[in-house]
Structures are given as C-alpha cells and as structure tokens.
C-alpha cells in the first residue's frame, strides 16, 4: 500500500531524470581508442590523463642487445607490488640471459614474444585499448609498453594487503568452522573453492561501478543451480549503473525483488560454510570485493530461523532451538503490541491475579500504556544504537547506564511500570535470537504497537493479516518467500520448523532446484544402524 | 494503472482507517483507572422496593504487593462498596458516586444473593448479569444463608480477597461432593427449562470468636425462580450420584465384623439414567458404577480379602442407594425436579411428553426409581494389612 505511493512518487521523479541521462550517455564516450605503436605518444596521453596523480611512476628504459629497444613501465606506487615488478619484469628484461646474447632472432617489438620468453609471472594480460590499459593500471597492475607494439602488457600485482582470516563477528558459532570471509575477494573465492572441489563450481566475474570498478563475482554450482536463476542474477547485475560499490549492501538494494518490503529477499553471510551449504541447495552467491559480506539468493522466510549449527548439532536439539527461535520472533515483533492491547482494551483476557499485579505496578505511572511502551522501546533502540557505534570500552558503560537508569531508576521513580520493563526486555532479548530478521522485526514492532494503541487486538490482527498477505505475495528471485509453508511442500517441511535427521533430507529444496533434486543416491538407505548378520545385501 | 485504480486504492485505504474509527467496542481504558470488581452481593434493602448491592473492589496498591501484612492490620486489600437502587443496573451506576469510575466487572468471580432475596425470587435480578457484556457467564452463583454483604466482609486467612476465596472454595467441591458449582450460564439454562429446578450452593459465615469463617455446603433449590428449600450434604451427593457429577468423596461403612469403620474414597463414578414409561407409570432406571479405594480403617482385622471386599462393596452400594433416595424424597417433598428427569423424559418420549408437561408437578412425586449400584474397591492405597500385631497366621 505504502509501496504503491512510493512507486508513484519515484516514478514521476525518474521520468525527468531519464531524459537527462540519455543526453549524458551520448557525450560520455571516452578513451576507447587503441594503443598506438608510438611509445612517446602513448606516454604523453597517459601522462595527460593522470597528470594530477603524484603517485604514478613512469619508468622508461632501454633493453636488449645494445639496448636498442625502448620500453616503459607504468605503475601506481601506492597499490602496485614493486618487488614483484622488479623481480618478474624489469630484471628479466634488463639482465635476462637471452637478451644479452649477441644474436637473438627475436623481434622484441612484438609483445607476444616478450610475454612468452621474458616475463616470469603468469598473472599478466594483453591489452589493446587505452581504456583497458587505464583500468588495469588503476586496479594495481604494472603496464609494460614497448615501442613499436600496438599491445601493452598488464602485469597483475601478486599480493594485496589484507586482513587475515578471523572468526566473523556477526555470526559466532559454538560448533562449526571458525573462519570467515574477509575483504579480499580472491581469498573469499579460495575459501569457497577449498570446500567444493568440483569442476561444476562456476565463478563469473562482473565489474560494477563507473568509478570504483569493483569486482563482483557470481558463484554457483552449475549442475545444481537453476540456469534461469543465474540468468536473472546476471540481468539484474548488468542493470546496475552506479559510481561505486562500496559494500555488498549496494548490490542487494539494486537486485532485490521488492524494494518496498520490510522483509529482506537477499540474505548475507560472513561464513563460508553457510554460503556453501546454501549453494549446495541451488542458491547462488554474489561476492563483492572489499567486503566480507557475501550475498546469497534466493532467500526464504524460513531461512531466518535456521542456523548452520542446526545441521552440526543432532536433530532433537536443533528442532527445539528452531521452534524457540520462531517463538522469539513472534515475541520480538508482537510483545509490546500485545501487552498494550491487553492492558488498554482487553483487560478481561488477563487472569485476575495478574491484572491486579499489573494494575498495582502501574499505579503511579503518569503516562498511557502506549506512550510508556514507546518510551521504553525508543530507549532500548537508542541504547542498542549507541552501544554499537561507540568504541568497545565505552559501549559497555552505555549498557550499564542504560540498565541502571532505565531499568531501575525509572521504575523507582514511577515513570515506567515494572511489567513494561519486563515486556520490553523480553522483546529485546527475543529480537537478538533471529538476527537476519532483526531489521524487519524492529520496523514491524513499531507498526504493530501503533495499531495496538489505536484499535487493540483488532488492530494487531489487521496488521498481522496485512503482513501475512504481503509475505505470501513476496518472491525472491522467483521463489515463493513463504515456501515450504505457502505453497505447502511436505518434503520441504522436513527442514523447516523442525529439522529431521540428515539421512532423511535426501532432496534438495524443490522451489529453488529445477533438476538434480537428489542430493545423494536414493537407492541407499542412509539410516545409521549397527551391523546385522541377516542383512547381507549391503555388500 | 490509470486514475481509476488510483482512486480505488485511495478508497480502500480510507475504508481501512475507517474500521478503526467506526468499530463499536473500542473502549480504551488504562488499567490503573479500572475499579476491578471481583465479587458482587445482592441483598434486600430495608425499604421494600430497593435492593442493596455490594461490590467488592480490589485495592490494587495493597492487593498487588507481595508482602501483604505490613504494619497496620486494618489495611484491607479490598473495598466493599454498597449502593441502593430499584434494580441492579441502577445500583451499579449509583456506585460511581462513591468510586469515581464505572465498575469493571469482567473479572467478577462470584455473585452472591441474600437469603431473603432468593426466597422472593431471583428472576428479575438475574437479567443484568446475563445481559451485561462485561459480565462473565462463568461467574459462580451462590446463595447466602443470611446476608450476602456479611459473606463479602469476612476476610479469609490465606487468600487476600474474599471473593477470590469463595470462588476457590466453590471449585473444590470435588473433594467431598457435598455441593456443586453452579455458574450463571448453568443457572440460567435451568431457569429456562420448564421442569428442571435450578440450584445454587449455599454459603454461610461461621463466627468463631472474633474470626469469621466462610463455609460453603449444601444447595439451595429454586422453583420458578424462587428459593423453596435446601439440600443438606448427603442429599446433594445423592443428587450428584444420579447426575454422574460425583468427583470424589468419603463413604464410611461398618467393617464386616461390625467392630469398626472402613473409610472409602470415591475414585471414579459412572452413571446412566434411562427413563421408562410402563403402563402409564414412569420409572427411572439409574445405573451407577462406582470405584473406590480403601483409605482408612479403624479396626485391626485384615480387610484385604475377597470376602471382606464383597461385604464392604455391598455396604457401600447400600449407602449410595440411601443417599439417592434421600435426595429424591427431599425433591418429592419440595416438588422440584432437581435431577432433570423431565428433560430426560422429553428427550426419549417426545410424543408422551406433551401430555406430561402440563401437569408435571402432579406427576413428579409419583415417579419410581430403580437404582442399581455396582460398587468396587480397586485399591487399598499403601497398606494391605493394618499396622497392627498379626493375630495368627490365618
């Protein structure tokens, strides 16, 4: 409903913008000319483009017998690996045994012969366009230009400065791998490759961002993922025209299905084991250079209540915990709303003794219950926000002050009733149990609270119905958001609110998969059992 | 996506918000503004046309605190507000002169009628309790032996609030089956029946020195909305045997050698009543299956033998039969169909019922009972033989 209004407004404003953009793109053609064979001319052009960057180094040199060939090496001091360049490019070119011989029947005006005979690193690319040359240079490569050659060689940097692999801060586990993704996308792909040693693992590269030229990779398993899904992701990624991709959240907001929904339709994770597990169910991952958060899609609502640890722990405990997570989501979104609805509108539904104690607690409270709930929720969200942004040692102080002042003193002063403190703290604790829906939960909590304040239980039910209708209509990359509950899928329910033992989960999710649904051979009964004498056919 | 759909959506949004404004029962009241009524008593006033309504309102400040007994013992956690009026509703509204807010009666647990009022007839007073949307149909209805307001005043020892205490007492009828819980809904449905007599448990205040104790026992029997008599404890159980509502209770029978008493606790009761019309005579066949456990014995003899069991079982059956007959005799005396035999006949013999219905009062005392009791001892609890010196090995 609100989405519709938003759409209208943004549509009108986009209409005007589109006209301007069309004109812009016509004049914006640049740098797609080829590299000229004249070294001097090339250097001049490059110098001109990068004239304001003081960290560009252009090293001209002569090489070969008699030093009759001219060449130049261009790199950016700050990001290029100088040691590598020296070892792999300059040294062989200048002092290479091959070049110092008297007679060499090689034409060093051709880049191919240099590349094949002299350069001692495999990480190099031939470029013929000036724009490609610049892209590579700015990404950290060293560019080798030879007089007389129409091609340039981009030598990629070997190592890049990056953080070491650590346990992710957002997804700590009790049992399971401790490693997490880091900011370097190559390391991240390596972490996935380490887990899936299969030729079907595909890594497709995209470069997005006019200025940032960020590497974005779609990673999926070809034999499992639906090609239509991959095609759709490609299509959505290609549509993105933006200056810079600084975090995978940028990508998420450009490719999600319903931008006006409070519910996320793309999930993110910092844990390789989680991402791989989802890829094995037919999902695709998007890795973005510069962030440890990997996007995974499609996302089902039920995934919010699942954790990787569910599959590492035995099924009974995992199922109980899942149900608790589900209940905690209900508490975290509806807790304050139900409290307000009951105490303001439906006092007859509260057991008599409880009603008397609630009434006793509220005796001195000067505010209506709805305002009281708002104040407490506001205070809680304030505390959380303050605690997150502050440096760690100071953050703890915020917690103590918050607990003492808000919990203790406000009750003592009679500003807030003790039951409200209990309700809001239960809500707060519950909201942390389902981390991936915390955002949507926080928004919904306020909406339901307002509805409860206006119309009591009736309002809450109306809000719930609206949310349910919305959820049922939501799709994530073609997958119904509420699957396997709506539409109902019995084999999907085996791994929904409860988790059945792993040996019963032989099918991959139907909604995501289009082929190869069996995750292992069906003929085999995987149920573990001790050896039986009469059961000889297992040979 | 033309203007039409735009308009339609705007209309729908408007309708959605109008739901909140136009719906009826959106009484928003803060919980601390409520005058929570937990019990009501209705008595006759001195002036003939008026009634005296006593409402028990909780004082949340005192009742909600966990440490109830502070310094002054005078701080009662409840407040009995009384007001007079021609009708109940008038009296309820009159009360706002004292309370400052209208009464919140959704949590009313019990309604107690004074003896005088019950004898005069409850028909006209019960309407409010059924009609008011806040009133629960599950509130218990009781009749005071004397004044309802006196019952409301007696402060219980373990509970803080008298009305909650009475509600609790009524719910525990199952331990003795000496009275039966009756709520507004049950009472009204009996009242609406042309034959069945409504009943309500009796509550009295026993003055024990300075202390006042509340005692619930026996039932008041109504006919045509007026209280016509009382059933004592045995008679109530006799009635409950027939209705199959005996949950538990104690039966005392003499031991086989007549020297002491065997005490049985009722464990499980099943009853079945089949009406029969034979040669114009109405016969009610009552079949009762009762299981009990031997809970106490006052003699040293070993009762855990088949012979002893059979004798005790026979004696038990006889006690049950007598209790039923006592209840039936009493109901014949009052000419009030407390068992609901009329309704049973109506269900089985709809054709004959048309003739019976009009002169039911004449027919009722002529009904004959055919009682068949099957009593069984199923366990002897923790002991087999009594804790007494063994008298010989036999």
Which chain A residues contact residue B32 at CB under 8 A?
A: 359, 362-363, 365
Q: How confident is the model at residue A54 (pLDDT cuts 50, 70, 90)?
A: confident
B196 and B249 assigned to the same domain = no
The Cα A357–Cα A368 span in angstroms is 17
Mean pLDDT over all residues of chain A? 85
Task: Say whether pLDDT at A27 is over 50.
Answer: no
The residues near A20 (Cβ < 8 Å, ≥ 6 apart) are none
Query: A450 by DSSP, 3-state: which?
Result: helix
Which of these three, B185, B214, B231, is where a domain ends? B231
B249 and B171 assigned to the same domain = no
For strand A294-297 and strand A267-269, is the pairing parallel, antiparallel, or unpaired? antiparallel
Distance from CA of B208 to the nearest CA of A (A): 29
What was the pLDDT predicted at B393? 47
Total domain count, chain B: 2
Which of these three, B231, B258, B291, is where a domain ends? B231
B11-28: average pLDDT: 69
Q: Is B106–A358 a contact, with Cβ atoms under 8 angstroms apart?
A: no
Residue B68 lies in a domain: no
Report for A317-326, B154-163, B251-260, B348-357: range of highest mean pLDDT = A317-326
The residues near A232 (Cβ < 8 Å, ≥ 6 apart) are A477, A478
The region of weakest confidence among A59-73, A346-360, B134-148, B156-170 is A59-73
Q: End-to-end CA distance of chain B, in Å?
A: 100
Q: Is A455–B27 a contact, with Cβ atoms under 8 angstroms apart?
A: no
Max distance between CA atoms of chain A, in angstroms, equals 106
Which chain A residues contact residue B164 at CB under 8 A?
A: 352-353
Which chain A residues contact residue B34 at CB under 8 A?
A: 347, 359
B183 and B244 assigned to the same domain = no
Task: Say whether pLDDT at A239 is over 90.
Answer: yes
B372-377: average pLDDT: 93
Apex A462 CA angle, A302 and B25, nearest 5: 145
Residue B106 lies in a domain: yes
B209 and B248 assigned to the same domain = no
Given A356, A357, A369, which is nearest B30 (Cβ)?
A369
Q: B113, B148 in Cβ contact below 8 A?
A: yes
What was the pLDDT predicted at B372? 94
Distance from CA of B36 to the nearest CA of A (A): 8
The residues near B217 (Cβ < 8 Å, ≥ 6 apart) are B178, B179, B201, B202, B204, B233
Residue B66 lies in a domain: no
Q: How confident is the model at residue B322 (pLDDT cuts 50, 70, 90)?
A: very high
A223-231: average pLDDT: 90
Which of these three, B191, B211, B231, is where a domain ends? B231
The region of weakest confidence among A78-92, A487-501, B21-35, B95-109 is B21-35
Provide the residue range defining the domain that includes B285: 232-394
Residue B168 lies in a domain: yes
What was the pLDDT predicted at A190? 93
Query: B258 by DSSP, 3-state: which?
Result: coil
B144-165: average pLDDT: 88
Residue A21: CB atoms within 10 Å:
13
Q: B120, B91 in Cβ contact below 8 A?
A: no
Task: Say whether pLDDT at B330 is over 80.
Answer: yes
Q: Is B29–A458 a contact, with Cβ atoms under 8 angstroms apart?
A: no
Residue B10 lies in a domain: no
Q: How confident is the model at residue A518 (pLDDT cuts 50, 70, 90)?
A: low
Q: B243, B182 in Cβ contact below 8 A?
A: no
How do residues B106-120 score in pLDDT, each as one tens digit? 999 999 999 999 999
Q: A185, A217 in Cβ contact below 8 A?
A: yes
What was the pLDDT predicted at A24? 47
B214 and B130 assigned to the same domain = yes
Task: Say whether pLDDT at B305 is over 50.
Answer: yes
Q: Is A368–B30 a contact, with Cβ atoms under 8 angstroms apart?
A: yes
What was the pLDDT predicted at A249? 93
Residue in chain A closest to B22 (alpha carbons) equals A455
A33-38: average pLDDT: 83
B336 and B224 assigned to the same domain = no
Q: How confident is the model at residue B240 (pLDDT cuts 50, 70, 90)?
A: very high
Q: Give phi and psi for A180, each to the nearest 5.
A: -135, 165
Query: B242 by DSSP, 3-state: which?
Result: helix
A498-526: average pLDDT: 74
Interface test with B, best of A3, A359, A456 (most B CBs within 10 A): A359
How do residues A282-315 score in pLDDT, each as one tens digit? 899 999 999 999 999 999 999 989 999 999 999 9
Task: Return the CATH number at B367.
Answer: 3.30.300.210
What was the pLDDT predicted at B25? 52
Residue B53 lies in a domain: yes
B118 and B145 assigned to the same domain = yes
What was the pLDDT predicted at B68? 47
Helix axes A369-389, A392-401, angle to 10 degrees: 160
Which chain B residues contact residue A4 at CB under 8 A?
A: 9
Query: B181 by DSSP, 3-state: which?
Result: coil
The Cα A338–Cα A361 span in angstroms is 18
Task: Say whether pLDDT at A26 is over 80.
Answer: no
Q: A406, A382 in Cβ contact below 8 A?
A: no
The Cα A539–Cα A507 span in angstroms is 25
A330-338: average pLDDT: 95
B252 and B207 assigned to the same domain = no
Residue B7 lies in a domain: no
What was the pLDDT predicted at B31? 83
Q: End-to-end CA distance of chain A, in Å?
A: 63
Q: How confident is the model at residue B187 (pLDDT cuts 50, 70, 90)?
A: very high
How do residues B193-224 score in pLDDT, each as one tens digit? 888 899 999 999 988 877 888 899 899 999 98
B201 and B298 assigned to the same domain = no
Chain B (94-113) residues lying within 8 Å, Cβ to Cβ, of chain A: 104, 106-107, 109
Q: Is A458–B36 a contact, with Cβ atoms under 8 angstroms apart?
A: no
Apex B106 CA angle, B101 and B110, nearest 5: 110
A91-110: average pLDDT: 71
Q: Is B28–A359 a contact, with Cβ atoms under 8 angstroms apart?
A: no
Task: Say whether pLDDT at A106 is over 70.
Answer: no
The residues near A535 (Cβ < 8 Å, ≥ 6 apart) are none
How do residues B31-44 score in pLDDT, each as one tens digit? 888 889 999 999 99
B91 and B224 assigned to the same domain = yes
B169 and B302 assigned to the same domain = no
Enumerate chain A positions whose Cβ falls within 8 A of a Cβ in B: 1, 4, 8, 343-345, 347-348, 352-353, 355-363, 365, 368-369, 454-456, 458-459, 462
Interface test with A, best of B31, B35, B162 (most A CBs within 10 A): B31
Task: Say whether pLDDT at B55 is over 60.
Answer: yes
Q: Is A347–B34 a contact, with Cβ atoms under 8 angstroms apart?
A: yes
A79-101: average pLDDT: 79
What was the pLDDT predicted at A29? 45
A314-318: average pLDDT: 93
- Quick check: bond before A496 cis, omega within 30? no
Residue B259: CB atoms within 10 Å:
11
Task: Say whether pLDDT at A322 is over 50.
Answer: yes
Task: Say whether pLDDT at A81 is over 90.
Answer: no
Mean pLDDT over all residues of chain B? 87
Which chain A residues contact residue B16 at CB under 8 A?
A: 462
Residue B245 lies in a domain: yes
Q: Is B63–A361 a contact, with Cβ atoms under 8 angstroms apart?
A: no
B394 and B280 assigned to the same domain = yes
- Of residues A173 and B72, which shows the higher confidence score? A173
Q: Is B31–A456 a contact, with Cβ atoms under 8 angstroms apart?
A: no
């Amino acid at each position: 409903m609100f989405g519709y209004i938003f759409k209208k407004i943004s549509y009108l404003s986009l209409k005007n913008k589109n006209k301007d953009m069309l004109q812009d793109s016509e004049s914006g053609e640049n740098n797609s000319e080829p590299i000229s064979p004249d070294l001097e001319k090339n250097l001049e052009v490059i110098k001109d483009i990068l004239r304001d960057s003081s960290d560009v180094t252009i090293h001209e040199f002569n090489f070969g017998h008699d030093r009759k060939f001219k060449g130049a090496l261009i790199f950016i001091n700050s990001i290029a690996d100088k040691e590598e360049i020296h070892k792999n490019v300059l040294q062989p070119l200048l002092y290479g045994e091959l070049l110092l011989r008297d007679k060499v029947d090689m034409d060093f005006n051709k880049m191919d012969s240099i590349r094949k005979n002299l350069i001692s690193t495999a990480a190099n690319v031939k470029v013929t366009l000036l724009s490609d040359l610049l892209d590579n240079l700015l990404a950290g490569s060293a560019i080798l230009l030879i007089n007389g050659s129409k091609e340039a060689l981009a030598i990629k940097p070997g190592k890049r400065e990056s953080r070491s692999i650590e346990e992710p801060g957002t997804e700590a586990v009790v049992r399971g791998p401790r490693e997490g993704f880091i900011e370097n996308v190559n390391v991240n792909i390596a972490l996935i490759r380490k887990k899936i040693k299969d030729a079907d693992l595909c890594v497709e590269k995209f470069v997005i961002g006019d200025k940032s030229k960020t590497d974005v990779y779609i990673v999926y398993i070809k034999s499992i993922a639906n090609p239509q899904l991959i095609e759709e992701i490609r299509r959505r990624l290609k549509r993105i025209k933006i200056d810079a991709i600084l975090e995978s959240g940028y990508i998420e907001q450009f490719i999600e299905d319903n931008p006006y929904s409070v519910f996320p339709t793309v999930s993110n994770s910092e844990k390789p084991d989680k991402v791989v597990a989802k890829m094995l169910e037919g999902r695709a991952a998007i890795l973005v250079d510069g962030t440890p958060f990997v996007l995974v899609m499609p996302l089902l609502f039920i995934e919010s209540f699942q954790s990787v640890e569910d599959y590492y722990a035995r099924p009974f405990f995992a199922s109980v915990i899942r149900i608790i997570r589900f209940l905690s989501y209900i508490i975290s979104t509806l807790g304050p709303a139900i409290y307000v609805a009951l105490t303001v509108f439906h006092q007859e539904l509260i057991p008599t003794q409880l009603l008397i104690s609630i009434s006793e607690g509220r005796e001195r409270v000067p505010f209506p219950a709805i305002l009281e709930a708002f104040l407490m929720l506001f205070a809680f969200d304030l505390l959380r926000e303050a605690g997150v942004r502050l440096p760690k040692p100071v953050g703890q102080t915020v917690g103590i002050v918050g607990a003492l002042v808000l919990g203790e003193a406000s009750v003592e002063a009679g500003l807030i009733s003790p039951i409200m403190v209990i309700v809001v703290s239960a809500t707060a604790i519950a909201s942390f149990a389902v981390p991936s829906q915390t955002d949507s939960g926080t928004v919904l909590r306020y909406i339901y609270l307002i509805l409860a304040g206006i119309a009591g239980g009736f309002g809450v039910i109306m809000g719930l119905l609206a949310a349910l209708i919305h959820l049922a209509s939501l799709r994530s990359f073609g997958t119904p958001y509420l699957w396997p509950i709506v539409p109902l899928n019995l084999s999907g329910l085996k791994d929904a609110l409860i988790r059945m033992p792993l040996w019963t989960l032989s099918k991959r999710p139907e909604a995501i998969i289009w082929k190869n649904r069996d995750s292992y051979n069906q003929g085999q009964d995987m149920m573990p059992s001790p050896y039986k004498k009469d059961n000889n056919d297992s040979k | 996506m033309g203007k039409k759909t735009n308009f339609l959506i705007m209309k729908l949004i408007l309708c959605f918000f109008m739901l909140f404004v136009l719906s009826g029962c959106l009484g928003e009241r803060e919980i601390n503004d409520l005058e929570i009524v937990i019990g009501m008593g209705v008595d006759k006033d001195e002036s003939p046309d008026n009634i005296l309504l006593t409402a028990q309102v909780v004082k949340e400040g005192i009742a909600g605190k966990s440490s109830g007994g502070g310094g002054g013992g005078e701080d009662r956690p409840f407040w009995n507000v009384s007001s007079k009026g021609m009708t109940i509703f008038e009296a309820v509204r009159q009360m706002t002169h004292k309370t400052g807010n209208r009464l919140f009666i959704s949590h009313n647990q019990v309604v107690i009628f004074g003896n005088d009022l019950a004898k005069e007839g409850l028909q006209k007073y019960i309407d409010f309790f059924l009609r008011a949307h806040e009133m629960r149909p599950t509130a218990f209805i009781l009749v005071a032996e004397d004044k309802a307001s006196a019952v409301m005043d007696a402060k219980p020892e373990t509970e803080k609030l008298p009305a909650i205490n009475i509600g609790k007492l009524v719910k525990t009828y199952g331990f003795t089956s000496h009275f039966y819980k009756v709520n507004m809904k049950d009472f009204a449905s009996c009242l609406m029946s042309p034959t069945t007599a409504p009943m309500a448990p009796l509550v009295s205040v026993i003055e024990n020195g300075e202390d006042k104790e509340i005692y619930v026992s026996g039932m008041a029997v109504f006919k045509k909305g007026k209280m016509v008599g009382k059933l004592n404890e045995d008679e109530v159980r006799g009635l409950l045997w027939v209705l199959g509502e005996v949950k538990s209770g104690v039966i005392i029978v003499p031991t086989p050698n007549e020297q002491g008493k065997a005490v049985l606790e009722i464990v499980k009761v099943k009853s079945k009543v089949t009406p029969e019309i034979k040669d114009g005579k109405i016969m009610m066949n009552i079949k009762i299956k009762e299981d009990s456990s031997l809970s106490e014995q006052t003699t040293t003899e070993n009762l855990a033998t088949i012979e002893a069991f059979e004798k005790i079982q026979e004696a038990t059956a006889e006690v049950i039969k007598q209790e039923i007959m006592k209840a039936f005799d009493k109901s014949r005396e009052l000419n009030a169909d407390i068992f609901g035999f009329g309704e049973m006949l109506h269900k089985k013999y709809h054709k004959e019922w048309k003739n019976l219905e009009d002169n039911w009062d004449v027919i009722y005392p002529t009904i004959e009972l055919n009682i068949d009791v099957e009593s069984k001892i199923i366990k002897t609890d923790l002991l087999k033989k009594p804790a007494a010196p063994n008298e010989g090995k036999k």
